[in-house]
Structure 1
Amino acid sequence: MSARARARALLPRLLRAGGQRRGMADMAPPQPAPQKKEVSKHIGFYKELGRPLSKVFLMSFFTYQACYWAWLKLEKEEVQRGKEEEVKGLMAEVDKLKEAAAAAGKK
């Protein structure tokens, strides 16, 4: 018997015993690609634009706070200068009254 004839004779026994076909038979069939779920428009909007919107919100919030704190500081300095000028004016008035009282006491 030639080698080719022996191989043909052995082939049915190999196939019955498992051989290469058994490996292919045990493989799971390919799974279909999962279909995308329909996402609501609201969820899609925030998924896509949530991060940029939050960045803009936070930047505007911190800008507002910085301007507000600067405004308070300037207003505080303005009020303090006004009070200092008022105190200087009152001290000048007190000095004038002292001089007037001293001049009236010498007479």
Structure 2
Amino acid sequence: MNEIALQWLSAFSLFLGVSFFFAGTVGLLRFPDTYTRIHALTKADNLGLGLVIFGLMLQTESWAVILKLLLIWLLALPASATACHLLARHTLRSEHRARVSTWQEPQ
């Protein structure tokens, strides 16, 4: 019974992680400017990767594999934050300023 519960928890975690990846991709495509796009993408992808890693950790039996998966996630977090920061700084300093939507809701 315990193994079945772990399999369901792992599947749920993997599904939730993929859902966050999908939400980040939708945010990348739908948000109006660079800053909101990279914010949505990095936040959703970091959480999605964490959930996928957690789901995979539940399926493995080796402590070495668990530590490797955890190391992958811990290295991806600062890499994602650094890439997000560099992209935002480049956008701020470039001549291509972030475009903000000027559309207003009719009254």
Compute the TM-score of the two structures, normalised by the length of structure 2. Answer: 0.31
More RCO (CA 8 Å, sep 6+): 2
Query: Greater CA radius of gyration, 1 or 2?
Result: 1
The two structures have a TM-score, normalised by structure 1, of 0.31
